[in-house]
DNA sequence: AAGAATTATGTGTATACGCATACAGAGTTG
DNA sequence: CAACTCTGTATGCGTATACACATAATTCTT
């Protein structure tokens, strides 16, 4: 089987499009984001903001880097996402003992925003669970966790040059 | 069960964070995107660009709106994504008979980019399939398709005001 | 055929995302 | 303590995402 074909086999392309984990995860993420964003609209929060806020609530005062690891977000992305929440007064960002650190915590106003958002989130989540079935949703969540772990494992060596 | 609590139950928050379909889909999408982007790096294509290019290849000359539906992307987002590919000379965008339409097709250079990218994509995909198992990947793909359909179904009525 | 409704697309604005790079504080070593 | 390294963040840049709104071309109505 010659790997480096000069001509693109339509059959193969079809199969690639159908089976690509990343493509389909991104499509599904976009679709669900629109649903959740739409449901959350009355709260003034977007899904991303809701998620970060919830993580800040749960993990209490936490450093940027740790919060980024939990949410599988680039540190630099999280920095800017948090800026939005800080401007809205929903989170507090302050220096820790180690003055390099920035510790994130939820504010009173942030908690109120969450309280308002939770029933809206429940509607979106219920829509998914009713459509797919709770069991399948559970299986999906397990697969997603596994996918995250696997994606973080830096195999795929020939194409991950790293730092020489 | 009082729905509108004044206090956030940590237990409940934990459960929400663990079970939110959107949050976990987005996390997984970010994780896989980094893996695929990393593998695709030698080709000069990002995952998004690779996917759009592949769709353009498969669907031949196709209008923006239809391509947007297939890729589950906002039309306006796709417009800008295509601009990047057009600047690189990988796609051609031209008016159709109906002069409102913009028809997208892949160029010769675009096909060459795909040919170079496919083995890199295969490495990323193989990494996922080896880690999760082909069967579980298959189940996941099915769930993702279902999630997309469900998310597009505009139930969730009280929170989708629509146009009055 | 003039006007209305519909369809296909583009722009302004704002958020979300991440790589490369820079910098500042903390720890380590001579 | 000076120099080096390591760690935690921030900034510059470019791409990705989508809503609200605007525009142009087609189709429908009367």
Q: A46-65, pLDDT tens digit by residue?
A: 999 999 999 999 997 999 99
Nearest protein residue by Cα to C1' of nucleotide D20: B76
Task: Pull the structure tokens for residue A131.
Answer: 């459509």
Helix (H, G, I), strand (E, B) or coil at B92: strand
CATH 1.10.10.10 fits A24-150, yes or no: yes
Of A6, A25, A139, the CB nearest to B32: A25
List of chain A residues whose C-beta atoms are within 8 Å of the C-beta of residue B12:
118
- Name chain A contacts of B24, Cβ cutoff 8 Å: 141, 144-145
pLDDT at residue B115, rounded to an integer = 96
Closest nucleotide to B52 by C1' from CA:
D16
Strands A91-95 and A102-106: antiparallel
Per-residue pLDDT band at A8 (split at 50, 70, 90): confident
Q: Is the CB of A34 under 7 A from strand D?
A: yes
Query: For residue B163, what are the contacts with CB-CB under 8 A and spacing of at least 6?
Result: none
Cβ atoms of residues A101 and A95 within 8 Å:
yes
What are B73-78's contacts with CB under 8 Å, separation 24+?
B73/A30, B78/B52
Q: Return the higher-pLDDT residue of A154 and B151.
A: B151
For A31-40, the pLDDT digits (tens) are 999 999 999 9
Highest average pLDDT, of A57-61, A139-143, B58-62, B97-101, comes from A139-143
Contacts of A157 in chain B (CB under 8 A): none
Distance between the alpha carbon (CA) of B26 and the C1' atom of D21, Å = 28
Sheet holding B102-106, edge to edge: B62-63, B102-106, B91-95
Answer left, alpha or beta for residue A153, where phi above 0 means left and psi between -120 and 50 means alpha.
beta
User: Does residue B83 carry a pLDDT above 80?
Assistant: yes
pLDDT bin (cut points 50, 70, 90) of residue B136 is: very high
* Strand partners for B105: B92
Mean per-residue pLDDT, A83-91:
96
> For B102 and C1, how far is CA from C1' in angstroms?
29
Determine the pLDDT at residue A163. Answer: 30
Q: What is the pLDDT of residue A7?
A: 80
A123-143: pLDDT as tens digits: 999 999 999 999 999 999 999
Cβ neighbours of residue A163 closer than 8 Å, sequence gap 6 or more: none
Output the pLDDT for position A2: 45
pLDDT at A1 over 80: no
Q: Is A70 on the interface with B (CB under 8 A)?
A: no
Residue B27 and residue A131: Cβ atoms within 8 Å? Answer: no
- What DSSP state is assigned to residue B44? T
Q: Which nucleotides of D are covered by protein (CB under 7 A)?
A: 7-12, 14-20, 24-27
**Predicted confidence (pLDDT) at residue B58 exceeds the cutoff of 70:** yes
Q: Is A2 left (phi over 0), alpha (psi -120 to 50) or beta?
A: beta
Taking the Cβ of residue B112 and every Cβ of chain A, the question of whether any pair is shorter than 8 Å is answered with no
Where in chain A are the domains? 24-150
The pLDDT tens digits for B8-25 are 888 999 999 999 999 999
Q: Topology of B22-151 in CATH?
A: Arc Repressor Mutant, subunit A (1.10.10)
- Whether residue A18 is predicted with pLDDT greater than 80 in this model: the reply is yes
Q: Which residue's entry shows tokens 């939005």? A: A84
What pLDDT was estimated at residue B6?
67
Per-residue pLDDT band at B4 (split at 50, 70, 90): low
pLDDT (average), residues A16-36: 97
Calculate the angstrom distance between C1' of C18 and CA of B47. 13
Residue B104 to residues A17, A49, A161, B107, B156: CA-CA distances in angstroms? 17, 35, 34, 10, 35
Instruction: Give the model's confidence band at B47: pLDDT under 50 very low, under 70 low, under 90 confident, else very high.
Output: very high
Question: What are the tens digits of pLDDT across the range A141-162?
Answer: 999 999 999 999 865 443 333 3
- The strand C neighbours among A residues 37-66, by Cβ under 7 Å, are 46, 48-49
Summary mean pLDDT of chain B: 90
User: Which carries the bigger pLDDT value, residue B157 or residue A52?
Assistant: A52
CA of A95 to C1' of D1 (A): 27
pLDDT at B60: 74
């Amino acid at each position: 089987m010659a790997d480096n074909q000069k001509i693109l086999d339509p059959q193969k392309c079809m199969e690639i499009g159908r089976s690509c984990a990343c493509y389909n995860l991104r499509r599904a993420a976009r679709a669900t984001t629109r649903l959740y964003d739409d449901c959350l609209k009355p709260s003034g929060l977007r899904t991303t903001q809701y998620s970060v806020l919830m993580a800040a609530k749960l993990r209490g005062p936490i450093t940027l880097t740790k919060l980024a690891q939990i949410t599988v977000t680039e540190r630099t992305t999280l920095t800017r996402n948090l800026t939005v929440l800080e401007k809205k007064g929903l989170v507090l960002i302050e220096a820790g003992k180690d003055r390099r650190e920035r510790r994130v915590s939820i504010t009173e106003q942030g908690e109120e925003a969450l309280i308002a958002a939770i029933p809206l989130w429940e509607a979106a989540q219920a829509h998914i669970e009713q459509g797919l079935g709770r069991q399948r949703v559970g299986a999906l969540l397990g697969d997603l966790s596994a996918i995250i772990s696997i994606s973080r494992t830096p195999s795929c060596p020939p194409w991950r040059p790293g730092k020489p």
